[in-house]
Amino acid sequence: MSTGRRAATALTVALLTLGTPLAGSAPAWADAPGTARAVAADETPALSALAAEAARNEVLRIAKSGLPAELRTSAWNALRSTLGDAAIEAWLAPGGGYDLAKQRLRDTRTRNRLFCERVAATHTPEFSPQVNAAARTALKGTDPDRAAFVSTGYERAQQRDREVRAADTEHQQEVAARERDFVAALAATDPGGEVRTAAQWALRPGATDADVAEFFGYGWATGATLDLEGHRLRIADGETRRHHALTLLLRKALAAEEALKGAADAAKARAEAEAAWRSVADQAGAAYRTWADEQTAAAAQAAHWAAVAAAAAEGADGIWKNIAGPAGANQQSWTQEGASAAGSAAYWQDMLKRAEESEERVRETV
C-alpha cells in the first residue's frame, strides 16, 4: 500500500469514527478563570467607551476580512466617516450600512461576479484550464460577459475540459476503491455542509470515476470555499447584531444606575438598575458561549484540513495532488478564523465580568 493511500485510509477512519483529527478540543482558556480582572471603579474605563471601541474593531475586522467587496467597502466608509462612533452605531444598526451592503449581494450582477471569482479560484489551470481561462476572461469583461459565463459559458468550458481529460489516456488519474471510500466518509461526516453536498454529488447514482476525479479536481475545493464564505458571513451577521444590542443595553443600564441616585423609591430604582445590568450580562454571556463554540468549530476545521494536506502531500503523484493547494490554504484560513474567534470570546467574557460586577455594585448601593 502506498504512503498516500495509507494516509487516505487513516483519514477515512478518522472521519467515520468522528475522532481526531475532526474532533475539536476545547480552547485552552475555556476552563480557566475569566480574563477580566476586577479593578477599582476609578481605574475602570467607561463600559460604553469600551463597547464603542469593540464595535469599531468589529467594523474594522469586516473591512479587512475575506468577505465580499460590497461589505468591505461599506465598512471602510463607516470607519472613515467624520461622524465617528455615531457612524459606526448607525452602520451596525438594523437597516443600516451593513444591511444595505448585504442587500447588494443579492443583486444579480454581484452574484454573477462572485460566481466567476469563486470558479477562477477553485478550478485550477492544471485540472480545468478551459474553465479557469473562461472565468478569468469573464471577470475582465462586462456584466453581460459574466452573465453569459454563468448561464452557458461555465458549462461549455467544463465540457471542453472533460473531453480533453477523457482523450488524455496517458495522464488519466485512477480512482481506487479507497478514494471512493474516502469521499463517502466526507459525504457523511465532513465538518462543512457544502463539502458534504459536493461529496454526495460525486457518488450519486450513476456517477463514474470521472465524477470522483472532478470532486478531487475542483468540487472539494468549491465546497470548502462555500463553507468558509458562509461561515464568515454568518459570524458577521451575528456579531453586528450583538454589538448593536450591547450599545442599547449599556445605554439603558447606565441610565438606570444614574436614576438610582436620589430616587424617591430607591428599592424600585435599584431593582431596575440591577435588571438592566443583568440584561447586559446575559447578552455578553450568550455572545461568549457562541464564540467559544465558534473557536472549537474552527479548530476542528483547521485540524481536518491539516490532515487532508498531509494525505495530499503523501499522494502527490495521483488524484490527491489536486487538493494539496486548497488543503493548505483552508488550514491557514480556519486557523485564522479560530484566532479571531478566541479574541472575540475574550472580549465578551471580559464584558460579562464587568457587567456582573456592575450588577453587584448596584445591589450593594445604600
pLDDT at 307: 94
Is the pLDDT at 43 greater than 70, yes or no? no
Is the pLDDT at 133 greater than 90, yes or no? yes
pLDDT at 140: 97
Task: Count CB atoms within 10 A of the CB of residue 20.
Answer: 13
DSSP structure string for 296-333: HHHHHHHHHHHHHHHHHHHTTTTTTHHHHHHHHHHHHH
pLDDT band, residue 319 (cuts 50/70/90): confident
Give Cα separations from 350 to 37, 53, 362 (angstroms): 8, 14, 19
Amino acid at 33: P
> Torsion angle of alpha carbons 72, 223, 114, 341, nearest 10°?
0
**pLDDT tens, 285-304?**
999 999 999 999 999 999 99
pLDDT band, residue 316 (cuts 50/70/90): low
pLDDT band, residue 262 (cuts 50/70/90): confident
pLDDT at 17: 38
More confident residue, 314 or 158: 158
Residue 69 φ/ψ, nearest 5 degrees:
-60, -30
Residue 285 · residue 352 · CB < 8 Å: yes
More confident residue, 306 or 42: 306
Stretch among 73-82, 189-198, 246-255, 308-317 having the lowest mean pLDDT? 308-317
**pLDDT tens, 327-353?**
999 999 999 999 999 999 999 999 999
pLDDT at 41: 43
pLDDT at 317: 65
The domain spans of the chain are: 3-106+173-363, 107-172
Is the pLDDT at 356 greater than 70, yes or no? yes
Residue 133 · residue 126 · CB < 8 Å: no
The whole-angstrom separation of Cα 166 and Cα 245 is: 57
**pLDDT tens, 7-21?**
444 444 344 333 333
Residue 54 · residue 46 · CB < 8 Å: no
DSSP structure string for 180-218: HHHHHHHHHH-S-HHHHHHHHHHTSTT--HHHHHHIIII
pLDDT at 243: 97
Share the mean pLDDT of the chain: 88
Is the pLDDT at 188 greater than 60, yes or no? yes
pLDDT band, residue 174 (cuts 50/70/90): low
pLDDT band, residue 24 (cuts 50/70/90): very low
